Structure 1
Amino acid sequence: MLALAIALLLVNSWVRWATADYRFADVASIPTQQVAIVFGAGIRNNQPSAALRERLDGAIRLYQAGKVQHLLMSGDNSQVNYDEVSVIREYALAHGVPASAITRDYAGFSTYETCYRAKAIFGLEQAILVTQDYHLPRAIYTCRELGLAAIGLSIPDWSYQPEQATTYYPPMTQVRYTTREWLARCKALFEVHISQPQPTFLGPSVGLGETTSAQQ
């Protein structure tokens, strides 16, 4: 148990340290890129969850500030009645992002698959990742190890700039998310360095502005 605890600590410290130079706390300081990737975070009654809404707001700020020209919306459409990325798209449209600046990836079932498909399907070489601070180190690490030179906009949560967070995370939720993320970082290292699985769906390459379905 002690060895396992030490291993978890080392892995998580490594992922955060290795990505420290690629994480930015505000829109003004982040370098300009062509594309921002928004990771899905669940929908409720065809509306973005609070966490997803925060990510979308961050991506919209990047677009409005001229930091990116395009948004790649990645999420889950594995079931007919669950279309995460279309909900994401409608939210962005309602906040002034034109349809021509939005691409949907319906088969972004995980952080690993989103990063893999961003490069293999959509041909990205660089991107800004938009997600909460607790998730951002893993997302950047995964993308960069898969050949996508990613930097990230950190959305404040309980672990970084908590006073700026717009969503309240109860203490037990913080513990659950933190524990899950620590384990997920270990899995991420295994995936990118050892198992290197292909995504659930891997179809032909398409350009930005084109849409892929979960069946491709």
Structure 2
Amino acid sequence: MLKTIKWLVICTFSFIVICNVWIVGSTHQGIITDSRALIGAEVGLVFGTSQHQVNGESNPFFDHRVESAKQLLKTGKVERLILSGSKDSIYYDEAEAMKKALVNQGIESDVLVLDKYGNRTIESLERLRDVYGYNQCILITQEYHAYRCLFIAKSLGLQAQCFVAETPDKKSHIWALLRELLARTKAVIDLYILSDNDS
């Protein structure tokens, strides 16, 4: 029994490592930190996150994504933005929160498209393709999340680059980074093991 458990642990750990190496290795060239290196696209997709932390303070992940999205509009790298996030209630609406933040910073509302059904990364990307009709885009999120976004986008047939927003101090958000290791593994399972190949 102990040997079985040991091998299960080893196999699980190895699978997680393989998935992460595969995702990062196959997408790193699409990670862009300087907006001048972007090819440009009609639309940018901003992935939602909570505007506030549990303690009520502003969420730096949210703030940096909004700032990066604004930069792409101001420099003409995208013509409009799809703000994709989840909406649990009238009190929690990630897309609406991003819109308000961008409008407050001088962005015209008519270039902002709200997608309030982006509950997961894969759903945001599927809706970009299937609902809004885009097959080329610039993704906006933090670097740790960007690799998975690009991996999923490629599997869905999308042409994408990712403009990475500033990542807050990693030591302060270590759990978010560790969760991403598992999220990448789940992405591989969803796309290549559980998928019905209809995407």
- Coarse TM-score class (shorter-chain normalised): 0.7 to 0.9
Choose the corresponding residue for 1:61, options 66, 71, 76.
Answer: 71
Amino acid corresponding to residue 18 of structure 1 in structure 2: S
The corresponding residue for 1:31 is 39
For residues 28-76 of structure 1, give each alpha carbon's deviation from its aligned partner in whole angstroms, at most 9, with x where no partner exists.
1111111111001112399962201101111110110110000000011
The corresponding residue for 1:127 is 137
Sequence identity percentage: 25
Between 1:108-117 and 1:147-156, the stretch displaced more is 147-156
Matched, 1:139 2:139: no
Between 1:9-18 and 1:143-152, the stretch displaced more is 143-152
> How far did residue 13 of structure 1 move?
0.7
Contact residue 48 and residue 88 of structure 1 kept, 8 A: no
Matched, 1:14 2:22: yes
Distance 2:31 2:139 in 1: 9
Distance 1:128 1:44 in 2: 25
The corresponding residue for 2:96 is 86
Distance 1:92 1:5 in 2: 41
The corresponding residue for 2:169 is 168
Distance 1:5 1:191 in 2: 18
Q: Mark the CA change 1:105 to 1:48 in structure 2 (over 3 Å): closer, same or farther.
A: farther
Q: Mark the CA change 1:97 to 1:48 in structure 2 (over 3 Å): closer, same or farther.
A: farther
Q: Secondary structure at the match of 2:88?
A: coil
Choose the corresponding residue for 1:4, options 5, 12, 28.
Answer: 12
Contact residue 152 and residue 187 of structure 2 kept, 8 A: yes
Greater share of helix: 2
Contact residue 27 and residue 147 of structure 2 kept, 8 A: yes
Amino acid corresponding to residue 176 of structure 2 in structure 1: Y
Q: Secondary structure at the match of 2:35?
A: coil
Distance 1:23 1:151 in 2: 6
**Which structure has the bigger radius of gyration?**
2
Amino acid corresponding to residue 32 of structure 2 in structure 1: F
> How far did residue 9 of structure 1 move?
1.2
Distance 1:14 1:5 in 2: 14
Matched, 1:95 2:105: yes
Q: Mark the CA change 1:183 to 1:127 in structure 2 (over 3 Å): closer, same or farther.
A: same
Amino acid corresponding to residue 186 of structure 2 in structure 1: K
Choose the corresponding residue for 1:42, options 50, 62, 82.
Answer: 50
For residues 113-148 of structure 1, give each alpha carbon's deviation from its aligned partner in whole angstroms, at most 9, with x where no partner exists.
111111111111111001111100001111121122
Distance 1:47 1:105 in 2: 25
Q: Secondary structure at the match of 1:38?
A: strand
Amino acid corresponding to residue 137 of structure 2 in structure 1: A
Q: Mark the CA change 1:57 to 1:189 in structure 2 (over 3 Å): closer, same or farther.
A: same
The corresponding residue for 2:86 is 76
Q: Mark the CA change 1:48 to 1:35 in structure 2 (over 3 Å): closer, same or farther.
A: farther
Distance 2:37 2:90 in 1: 40
The correspondence of residues 132-211 of structure 1 with structure 2, limited to 5 A, is: 132-157=142-167, 167-171=168-172, 173-174=173-174, 176-196=175-195
